[in-house]
Amino acid sequence: MRVRILLAAVSVFAVCLTTLSLPAQPEVSTSPAVFVRGLMILEFGQKDALRIVLPDAPGHKATVTFVMNDGKRIVIPFKGHSTIKAVSDPEGSTPVVKVPELVRMKELYGDGFTPLIDRVADRIEIPWSGIRSVKTEKVTDSRYTFVRKDNGEEITSFRPRNIAESLRIELGSFESLHVNGLKREMDAAQVKEIRIEQVPKDMTTADVYPDHFHHYFHYIARAASQNFDVEPRKVSGAISRSPRVGQSFWIDLFVICGPIRID
């Protein structure tokens, strides 16, 4: 009888410990990642690699920042052709691509355009074999739609929404870095994150997105029926007047030029 009472007491004690235990903290990914922000063209349709293409945009500054494991940052200009290679997934899993906030050129012009990015010299390629996922990291505070510049009509094929300002590309682990502009060889194992961005040099305007979207038009050829320009227009919300810290590397008070998907 004493044994039964003792076992019952132990069981009750165990249940109490389980009930009073602290809730599990959300899991934070420690996988290395590449972040893309600002005026960039992304091409997802290539079979071998994800392309990050740098459009020519006067008044903008394009950089690649390497964040090391010890916290040190190395910043170089984004120029030339570079490759960021990660260790391939041994199971050959298909990368998860979830970027519904990213603007697609197809939403604006349907199939009536042809990309012209093969002639762009400044690009970074990341082989799909080493990519685990591509997801939106940060969106605008306000929702946007798109309108034709010639007559002001709204583009009905575009879904009004908060627009992606930056993307997170999660990798397995860095294998090799062939980055144009590095003065010396870098140990890929010591790199925690890579930040790729192109933002305006003059950030005195709170919302530069509508003014700078036209830079993308130089990289598509449009059919005669689609030969019109479009521009983003805010439909709701307001610009935040305090820095947005959170988990984001990017801290600012401005709406920047968001990246776009060309295919």
Tens of pLDDT, residues 40-97: 999 999 899 999 999 999 989 999 999 999 999 999 999 999 999 999 987 878 999 9
pLDDT in tens, 146-191: 999 999 999 999 999 999 999 999 998 899 999 998 888 889 999 9
Query: Is residue 151 packed enough to be buried (19+ CB in 10 Å), middle (13-18) or exposed (0-12)?
Result: exposed
Closest to 238 in 3D by CA, of 207, 198, 201: 207
Q: Above pLDDT 90, what percent of the chain?
A: 64
Separation in Å, CA 126 to CA 34, 41, 60, 151, 158? 9, 14, 23, 40, 28
- Band the pLDDT of 236: cuts 50, 70, 90: low
Residues 208-244 as b or e (16 or more Cβ within 10 Å = b): bbbebbebbeebbeeeeeeeeebbbebeeeeeeeeee
- Band the pLDDT of 263: cuts 50, 70, 90: confident
Q: Are 231 and 155 in contact (CB under 8 A)?
A: no
Q: What is the pLDDT of residue 246?
A: 33
Q: What is the pLDDT of residue 134?
A: 96
Q: What is the pLDDT of residue 52?
A: 96
Query: Is residue 96 packed enough to be buried (19+ CB in 10 Å), middle (13-18) or exposed (0-12)?
Result: exposed
Question: For residues 45 and 128, what is the distance between their CA atoms, to the nearest angstrom?
Answer: 11
The pLDDT of residue 30 is above 80: no
Closest to 213 in 3D by CA, of 238, 233, 235, 237: 233
Q: Are 24 and 183 in contact (CB under 8 A)?
A: no
The pLDDT of residue 242 is above 50: no
Residue 14's SS3 state is helix
What are the tokens at 150? Answer: 């010639």
Q: What is the pLDDT of residue 35?
A: 97
The mean predicted confidence, pLDDT, of the chain is 82
The CA-based dihedral angle spanning residues 19, 25, 26, 29, taken in that order and rounded to the nearest 10 degrees: -140
